[in-house]
Structure 1
Amino acid sequence: MPEYQRIHVSYNGRLGVPVGLFVAVDHLRRAGRLSPDDEALWLTVDDWFIANLPEPPQYSDGNTAGVVTWFKPPLPAAMQRRVEVATGLLSKYGVPWSISESDDPGEIVYEDDFQVAVVPPVRGEPSPMPAGVTLGPTTGGSKQSLGTDASAAARRHLAYYATELADRANRPASPDRQRQLAAFIAQCEALELATILEVGCGGGRDGVALQEAGFDYRGVDLTPEAIDICSEHGLAVTVASAADLPFEDDSFDALWTMSTLMHLDGDGFSRAVAEVGRVVRPGGLVAVGLWGSEPPRRRVDEHGRLFVRRSDSQVRQALSRIGSVETFETGQWYDDGEHYQYFTLRAT
């Protein structure tokens, strides 16, 4: 393994060298290209790096020395996962990136446990801005205050779950959830299904049960903190949105998603349902649980979490577009009509 690695894009910044990973993703934010959810995710990841990756002192004066940083592989697992979030955002928005490797990247003027800052031996000319693209403001510290109004709720949502996840991971599942999960496992075994995706894996409570039952398990969640916790349990998990799953068509035999799709509004919910249908092979088993309501209602709580409580018929109609509903049950009814909905279906 080479001693140093630098992740960068193909265009040059003001220093005349290819722009590094973090600045490149922030260029997407400053150009207004990130969706609200992706902006919220990036600002959360950026804050994590501010807290966990030391800043070279050369940056404090605006980097007049013109240094660039190179990672010292291998990185700690939590840091590597967030690097992969950043590279995933570049790929999602069509920004080519690459990894340069070297044992001698230039004159080292700073070093810590994770990186070195070097004076590049060769510089070129800064790349011109693409036509029609302007960059909004940035800052050396947290950029949360620069986030758009559109991403505010998503940022509060991620912040809430970042602090809540450890508790949720240790919280016992309800008797209904335990029964439904046991029945799902039994049906997957009876159908000789092998690969299972969980959408909204949270702290990994259900994922551990699915993996211990012998299935080839994968999970996705919006929060990097969920990925940290799940990884400690040996679960293969990825940061991703339910509305944009990073898997090929027909990748899984079964899919399990509980209390996740109710946080998606309008087009996001429709895209997530379509994504479920896309990644599960025909004949595969899908289990969907979410809070609903008769009549339907929508609200955002004090933590920024969006709840869209759809009626039973609305959810059934949406799921029928991707498969044949086999079972449906409700539970935990409240006086205002809110209740839990649980569907199983076979993908078509």
Structure 2
Amino acid sequence: MGVRYDDVIGSLRAAYDGSAKRRDGSGKQPWKLAERAAFLSRVQDSGGRRLLEVGAGTGQDSAYFQDNGLDVVAVDLSPAMVDLCREKGIEAHVRDFLHLDFAPESFDAVYALNCLLHVPNGDLPTVLDAIHALLRPGGLVFLGVYGGGTLHGEGPFEGDDHEPPRFFAFRTDEELQEFASRSFEIVDFHGVGSDELRFQSLTLRPRVHERCPEAPTVWACA
């Protein structure tokens, strides 16, 4: 069996606790601002109001969505990151992807920027199902990660400037869309950039699931 999410949570938390202040002072590239603005527009056009940011980091994006009229909740596995979110006036909680602990259908939108690339492939379907369960009918998800370029596979990234080095899962375009399409309809997919820094941008809408009568605890697309 390969690496699982529980195996890497501790090192990820230590890496992001140690880099929180530095990351909070860094700016965002114009293409990231454009991706964020496009998703806000989609959420507003859909009539959505309540947004969850997972892997929220220092809360820069959460603050943007909140300043633009959304009701925002942020979660991150790093206590130092969550403290910085709260300093910005954001409701924030220390939680990981396998323990989000919100009521079903609590949100109109979920925003996940460069965080699901830390989830091993073996746990990604479970994490996507957990996000699916939090969305109200017609809700939207932004899923953005680096991948689809020259990097592929799972493990530490050579040259990572965090200590300890972080775990990454880099996926091809086809792999990422296959994972996403198990629980979601792909509203939009496009790549930004190339090579190691190529970014995969997906906007998703939950598929309607029905319970399989032979196995009531299993979700199946009907």
TM class by shorter-chain length?
A: 0.7 to 0.9
1: CA distance between counterparts of 2:199 and 2:67? 26
Q: 1:225 to 1:321 in 2, by over 3 A?
A: same
Q: Could you report, residue by residue, the CA deviation over 1:35-93 in whole angstroms, capped at 9, with x for unpaired residues?
A: 984xxxxxxxxxxxxxxxxxxxxxxxxxxxxxxxxxxxxxxxxxxxxxxxxxxxxxxxx
> Counterpart of 2:175?
314
2: CA distance between counterparts of 1:157 and 1:347? 28
- TM-score, length of structure 2 as denominator length: 0.83
| Aligned counterpart for 2:42 among listed residues 187, 193, 199 | 187
> Counterpart of 2:70?
215
> Counterpart of 2:28?
173
Q: Which amino acid aligns with 1:164?
A: S
1: CA distance between counterparts of 2:121 and 2:35? 27
| Aligned counterpart for 2:17 among listed residues 156, 159, 162 | 162
Q: Which amino acid aligns with 1:224?
A: P
Q: Do 1:258 and 1:288's aligned partners in 2 also have CA atoms closer than 8 Å?
A: yes
Q: Which amino acid aligns with 2:155?
A: R
Aligned CA RMSD, in angstroms, stands at: 1.8
- TM-score, length of structure 1 as denominator length: 0.54
Q: Which amino acid aligns with 1:291?
A: Y
1: CA distance between counterparts of 2:88 and 2:51? 17
Name the SS for the 1:202 alignment partner: coil
> Counterpart of 1:332?
193
| Aligned counterpart for 2:88 among listed residues 220, 225, 233 | 233
2: CA distance between counterparts of 1:294 and 1:36? 23
> Counterpart of 1:54?
none
Deviation at residue 311 of structure 1 after TM alignment? 0.8
> Counterpart of 1:299?
155
Spell out structure 1 runs of 4+ moving beyond 2 A.
153-157, 293-296, 301-304
Number of equivalent positions: 198
Larger C-alpha radius of gyration, 1 or 2?
Answer: 1
Q: Do 2:85 and 2:92's aligned partners in 1 also have CA atoms closer than 8 Å?
A: yes
Deviation at residue 294 of structure 1 after TM alignment? 4.7
Q: Which runs of no fewer than 5 residues in structure 1 stay unpaired?
A: 1-34, 38-150
Between the two proteins, what is the percent identity of the paired residues?
27
Q: Do 1:154 and 1:304's aligned partners in 2 also have CA atoms closer than 8 Å?
A: no
Deviation at residue 267 of structure 1 after TM alignment? 2.5
* Structure with higher strand content: 2
Q: Does 1:347 align with 2:206?
A: yes
Q: Could you report, residue by residue, the CA deviation over 1:226-259 in whole angstroms, capped at 9, with x for unpaired residues?
A: 1111111110011111122111111100110000
Name the SS for the 2:133 alignment partner: helix
Q: 1:36 to 1:252 in 2, by over 3 A?
A: closer
Q: Could you report, residue by residue, the CA deviation over 1:97-143 in whole angstroms, capped at 9, with x for unpaired residues?
A: xxxxxxxxxxxxxxxxxxxxxxxxxxxxxxxxxxxxxxxxxxxxxxx
Name the SS for the 1:344 alignment partner: strand
Deviation at residue 174 of structure 1 after TM alignment? 1.3
Q: Which has the higher contact order (CA 8 A, sep 6+)?
A: 2
Q: Which runs of no fewer than 5 residues in structure 2 stay unpaired?
A: 208-222
Name the SS for the 1:266 alignment partner: coil
Deviation at residue 297 of structure 1 after TM alignment? 1.8
2: CA distance between counterparts of 1:262 and 1:155? 16
1: CA distance between counterparts of 2:98 and 2:30? 29
> Counterpart of 1:90?
none
Q: 1:270 to 1:36 in 2, by over 3 A?
A: closer
Q: Which amino acid aligns with 2:192?
A: G
Q: Which amino acid aligns with 2:127?
A: A
Q: Do 1:170 and 1:205's aligned partners in 2 also have CA atoms closer than 8 Å?
A: no
2: CA distance between counterparts of 1:258 and 1:294? 17
Q: Do 1:282 and 1:347's aligned partners in 2 also have CA atoms closer than 8 Å?
A: yes
